[in-house]
């Protein structure tokens, strides 16, 4: 993929000083590493609805079954404005986005565990969702969305970036025109990546594409929904081991007995946490160079994202 990804991002996370105190929440992974491969589309919903910088802090306040967003004293209610802004953005500004990175704990942008204060001012519960992000998720269920803080976790980071590159691939695929042959080819490239995340989805998506009773557009819609949900499951040493053992089978007629045993031993060593995943992938790619296999070489599993991002060090 030659063109850059387009990723939506909370403006403070890319370093813009738009927070209530004129601060930011810059995530250096985005500005210093991911920016090599992505063009960011920043947005601050609070500034977007006309709030100034600096400004009084706003919070989510529980009023019975209703959540309102206002200043701590209940004045300056911006609930409807944030919902309207988020809905308009989600419907009209996300068509070319491959992912979105939001600011954790924000009453407008938080994805989960946002503080919701009791109306009487006594205590809070961390069970809210930012009103802007709430609209983003509801109206763009396929769009990979993650919080800045969670992206410091190497497994979560790798999972999110894998989903972003996958969704960009799908957007490019759809823009080039949908045919049954191209849909099957797309899936053939993703089979082992899916297996490494969720074996049940691997089986279900194969059965879906074998059906002849669905219109192609409906089949494609069900497929991408199933694919993106499959990739939300975090790959583990167990699921990687299953996948690596399947890949091992492609070399059984080419490798010597000694080399087959070496590969099998390294896979089990990875399963037991003794060998890094990158060692296995390097070994498989080495065998692929010696014994080319176009089908295996086309597997996204082997290169789901640029090596420069160093994302598979968590395994």
Element (H, E) at 237: helix 237-248
Q: In what order do the strands lie in the sheet with 99-102?
A: 38-43, 5-10, 99-102, 145-147
Res 315: pLDDT:
77
- Percent of the chain's residues with pLDDT above 70: 99
Q: Which of 17, 15, 175, 5 is nearest to 98 (CA)?
A: 5
- The per-residue pLDDT for 2 is 65
Taking only the tens place, the pLDDT of each residue in 245-286 is 999 999 999 999 999 999 999 999 999 999 999 999 999 999
- Break the chain into its structural domains and give their ranges: 5-152, 153-315
Please give, one letter per residue, the 3-state secondary structure of 78-121: CHHHHHHHHHHHHHHCCCCCCEEEECCCCCCCCCCCEEEEECCC
CA distances from 123 to 57, 115, 128, 273 (A): 17, 10, 14, 43
pLDDT at res. 313: 83
**pTM for the whole thing?**
0.95
Mean pLDDT of 145-162: 96
What is the per-residue pLDDT for 230? 98
Q: Show the 3-state SS of 135-152.
A: HHHHHCCCCCEEECHHHH
| pLDDT tens by residue, 193-228 | 999 999 999 999 999 999 999 999 999 999 999 999
pLDDT band at residue 1, thresholds of 50, 70 and 90?
A: low
Residue 69 near residue 78 (C-beta atoms within 8 A): yes
Give me the pLDDT at residue 104, please. 97
Residue 52, pLDDT score: 97
Q: Decide if 2 contacts 92 (C-beta within 8 A).
A: no
The pLDDT tens digits for 103-149 are 999 999 999 999 999 987 778 999 999 999 999 999 999 999 999 99
Please name the helix (run of DSSP H) or strand (run of DSSP E) that holds residue 62, with its range, or none: strand 58-63
């Amino acid at each position: 993929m030659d063109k850059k990804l387009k990723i939506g991002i909370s403006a403070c996370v890319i370093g813009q000083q738009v927070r209530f105190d004129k601060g930011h929440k810059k995530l250096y992974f985005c500005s210093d590493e991911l920016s090599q491969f992505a063009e960011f589309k920043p947005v601050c919903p609070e500034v977007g609805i006309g709030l100034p910088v600096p400004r009084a802090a706003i919070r989510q306040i529980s009023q019975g079954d209703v959540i309102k967003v206002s200043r701590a004293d209940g004045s300056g209610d911006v609930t409807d404005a944030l919902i309207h802004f988020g809905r308009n953005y989600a419907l009209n500004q996300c068509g070319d986005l491959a992912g979105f990175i939001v600011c954790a704990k924000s009453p407008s942008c938080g994805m989960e565990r946002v503080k919701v204060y009791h109306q009487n001012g006594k205590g809070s519960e961390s069970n809210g969702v930012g009103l802007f992000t709430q609209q983003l998720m509801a109206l763009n269920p396929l769009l990979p969305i993650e919080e800045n803080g969670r992206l410091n976790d190497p497994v979560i980071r790798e999972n999110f970036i894998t989903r972003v590159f996958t969704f960009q691939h799908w957007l490019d695929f759809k823009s080039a025109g949908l045919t049954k042959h191209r849909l099957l080819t797309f899936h053939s490239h993703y089979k082992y990546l899916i297996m490494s995340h969720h074996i049940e989805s691997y089986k279900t998506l194969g059965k879906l594409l074998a059906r002849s009773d669905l219109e192609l557009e409906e089949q494609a819609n069900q497929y991408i929904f199933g694919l993106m949900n499959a990739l939300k499951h975090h790959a583990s040493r167990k699921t990687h081991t299953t996948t690596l053992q399947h890949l091992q089978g492609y070399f059984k007629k080419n490798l010597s007995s000694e080399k087959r045993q070496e590969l099998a031993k390294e896979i089990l060593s990875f399963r037991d946490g003794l060998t890094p995943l990158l060692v296995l992938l390097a070994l498989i790619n080495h065998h692929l160079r010696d014994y080319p296999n176009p089908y295996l070489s086309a597997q996204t599993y082997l290169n789901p994202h640029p090596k420069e991002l160093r994302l598979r060090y968590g395994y």
